[in-house]
Amino acid sequence: MESESKTQNGDLSIYIHWPFCKSKCPYCDFMSISKNSSEEFDEVEILLLKDLETSLQELDVSSIRTIFFGGGTPSLMNAKTISKILNFITKNYKTNSNIEISLEANPATFSKEKLKEIKEVGVNRLSLGIQSFQDKDLKFLGRIYNSEQALKAAEMVTNIFSNYSFDFIYGYQSQSIDDLKNNLLMAVNFGCPHISCYQLTFEEGTPFFRLLQNGKIRQLTEAQEIEFFRYIQDFLERFSFNRYEISNYALKNFESKHNLAYWRYQNYLGVGPSAHSRLVFNNQKYELKKFSDIDKWKSSLYRNLSTYEYRNILMDYEQLEEIFVMGLRLSEGISIKSLKSRFSNDILDPILKRIDLLSKENLFKKSESQIKLSENGMLKQDSVVEFLFN
Ligand code: SF4
């Protein structure tokens, strides 16, 4: 892109996608390959750095707000790779004084020493994908570790990091409310300051999706979904956790700043195969996605071609819809003032009228300044957004 088309992206969040896992979990549709070869890791290290450098060159950025290593399984990355990426960013860009640098970790992919190295090179928040502390659940979810290893990993993380999250998957027929309670209690007893509870979803193309279609596993009923959702909230609220997003709970000041950037519709750059971005060029907001096919991503970098699979301008109406899809997930909701400063009345008024209609049905809580879903509305978020924008 020419220099005159550079546009201010303000504070930027950066997502780095590490595309390897030890093995593929049967419910997962993220881009990841089961590989563990040092040659491949070294090659991807060089290419990630190149992708990062060339992608950032296009942007005029005032400072870096957050960095997130996701994947895949970024706890498989060599600490030197993480260090090189962070050094590149901090040497060439201004970073916020309280920058959050997160890394997702899978139990059984790190030792105490490795975890210490990860911290020493600059990672200051760890997101541990435990999923469950119970053997039967881990087996069902196709995880590569048992409850003993999950416990050991949790202990290591709590001893080394002060800012961390335990991530759980819930909501399958073999899991009872008591099983869920034991997981949450374990996290609370560890003193964990942030807990994510994601309901199991059945994504097309995954082995779990096929099992669901063949009737080998069943989804929760709507009533069960509500029961689990309410149970998590009531349980964690008793321990001072605030549900700041549909699936995320935090003690005060431990919210994930990086994920808040997505939900608040701030600009972010995604680097690595399949990574998404929302960026501004020439005063226009774009949705961008890197090649999901790792060979295409690699060859475009070797040939100095664009690494983007697509790069589309988002029209005002599309941006408004994205703001609602993301912002209604948050308990804080969406600021009416910022909507009014960004969108014309022609676009905004019909949506606000529909919100008034839904408020009468108790799905929204609208104040002078914010639009938020009620608890009832949170449980029906997808159909609410569909009603607003169709
Ligand atoms: S470890 Fe995570 S990214 Fe890798 S396959 Fe399992 S769920 Fe997907």
Same domain, 104 and 203: yes
pLDDT of residue 88: 98
Going from the Cα of 33 to the center of ligand 1, the distance in angstroms, rounded, reads 9
Using CA atoms, how far apart are residues 62 and 293, in angstroms rounded to an integer? 31
Using CA atoms, how far apart are residues 76 and 374, in angstroms rounded to an integer? 40
Nearest atom of ligand 1 to the alpha carbon of 104: 2
pLDDT of residue 155: 98
Nearest atom of ligand 1 to the alpha carbon of 71: 3
Using CA atoms, how far apart are residues 158 and 154, in angstroms rounded to an integer? 6
- Domain boundary residue among 219, 240, 261? 261
Pick the residue whose CA is nearest to atom 3 on ligand 1: 72
Measure CA of the first residue to CA of the last residue in the chain; give whole Å: 35
Going from the Cα of 129 to the center of ligand 1, the distance in angstroms, rounded, reads 9
What lines the ligand 1 site, CB under 6 Å?
Answer: 21, 24-25, 28, 30, 32, 71-73, 106
Same domain, 334 and 251: no
Using CA atoms, how far apart are residues 41 and 171, in angstroms rounded to an integer? 35
Pick the residue whose CA is nearest to atom 2 on ligand 1: 72
Domain for residue 266, yes or no?
Answer: no
- For ligand 1, mutation pick of 16, 18, 22, 28 (most atoms within 8 Å of CB): 28
Number of domains into which the chain is organized = 2
Same domain, 219 and 364: no
Using CA atoms, how far apart are residues 88 and 66, in angstroms rounded to an integer? 14
Same domain, 235 and 326: no
Residue 5 pLDDT class (50, 70, 90 cuts): very low
Nearest atom of ligand 1 to the alpha carbon of 24: 5
- Domain boundary residue among 244, 261, 278? 261
- Token pair for 218: 């069943």
Pick the residue whose CA is nearest to atom 6 on ligand 1: 25
Give the mean model confidence (pLDDT) for residues 161-174.
96
Same domain, 168 and 95: yes
Is residue 6's pLDDT more than 60?
no
pLDDT of residue 21: 96
Domain for residue 310, yes or no?
Answer: no
Give which of 359, 331, 97 is closest to 237, Cα–Cα: 331
CB 150 within 8 A of CB 107: yes
Going from the Cα of 24 to the center of ligand 1, the distance in angstroms, rounded, reads 6
Going from the Cα of 131 to the center of ligand 1, the distance in angstroms, rounded, reads 11
Same domain, 220 and 114: yes
Going from the Cα of 31 to the center of ligand 1, the distance in angstroms, rounded, reads 9
**CATH number of the domain enclosing 246:** 3.20.20.70
Percent of the chain with pLDDT over 70: 98
Domain for residue 151, yes or no?
Answer: yes
Same domain, 52 and 162: yes
Task: Give the range of the structural domain holding residue 252, as residue numbers without chain letter.
Answer: 3-261
- For ligand 1, mutation pick of 33, 35, 69, 73 (most atoms within 8 Å of CB): 73
Going from the Cα of 26 to the center of ligand 1, the distance in angstroms, rounded, reads 9
Domain for residue 309, yes or no?
Answer: no
- For ligand 1, mutation pick of 17, 32, 167, 203 (most atoms within 8 Å of CB): 32
Is residue 157's pLDDT more than 50?
yes
In DSSP terms, 12 is beta-bridged to 64
Is residue 4's pLDDT more than 60?
no
pLDDT of residue 1: 37
pLDDT of residue 357: 94
pLDDT 10s digits, 336-382: 999 999 999 999 999 999 999 999 999 998 888 999 999 999 999 99
CB 14 within 8 A of CB 275: no
Is residue 227's pLDDT more than 70?
yes
Going from the Cα of 18 to the center of ligand 1, the distance in angstroms, rounded, reads 11
Give the mean model confidence (pLDDT) for residues 283-287.
94
Domain for residue 301, yes or no?
Answer: no
- Token pair for 308: 């983007």
Going from the Cα of 38 to the center of ligand 1, the distance in angstroms, rounded, reads 19
Using CA atoms, how far apart are residues 17 and 71, in angstroms rounded to an integer? 5
**CATH number of the domain enclosing 335:** 1.10.10
Going from the Cα of 19 to the center of ligand 1, the distance in angstroms, rounded, reads 10
Same domain, 200 and 337: no
- For ligand 1, mutation pick of 30, 137, 203 (most atoms within 8 Å of CB): 30
Nearest atom of ligand 1 to the alpha carbon of 21: 4
Going from the Cα of 111 to the center of ligand 1, the distance in angstroms, rounded, reads 19
Would you give the DSSP letter of residue 166?
Answer: E
- For ligand 1, mutation pick of 18, 24, 131 (most atoms within 8 Å of CB): 24
Pinpoint the alpha helices (H) of the chain. Answer: 38-57, 79-92, 112-120, 135-140, 147-160, 177-190, 207-213, 222-238, 257-263, 294-302, 316-327, 336-342, 345-360, 375-379, 381-389
pLDDT of residue 390: 86
Same domain, 187 and 50: yes
Going from the Cα of 180 to the center of ligand 1, the distance in angstroms, rounded, reads 21
Pick the residue whose CA is nearest to atom 8 on ligand 1: 28
φ/ψ of 41, rounded to 5, equals -60, -40
Domain for residue 269, yes or no?
Answer: no
pLDDT of residue 367: 84
pLDDT of residue 253: 97
245-258: b (≥16 Cβ within 10 Å) or e: bbbbbbbeebbbbb
Same domain, 100 and 230: yes
Same domain, 253 and 325: no
Domain for residue 125, yes or no?
Answer: yes
- Token pair for 353: 């009228």
Domain for residue 290, yes or no?
Answer: no
Residue 3 pLDDT class (50, 70, 90 cuts): very low
Residue 264 pLDDT class (50, 70, 90 cuts): very high
Same domain, 111 and 213: yes
pLDDT 10s digits, 115-144: 999 999 999 999 999 999 999 999 999 999
pLDDT averaged over the chain?
Answer: 95
pLDDT 10s digits, 172-187: 999 999 999 999 999 9
> What order do you get walking across the sheet with 308-313 strand by strand?
242-245, 248-250, 194-199, 164-170, 125-131, 95-105, 63-71, 11-18, 268-271, 276-281, 284-290, 308-313
Is residue 219's pLDDT more than 70?
yes
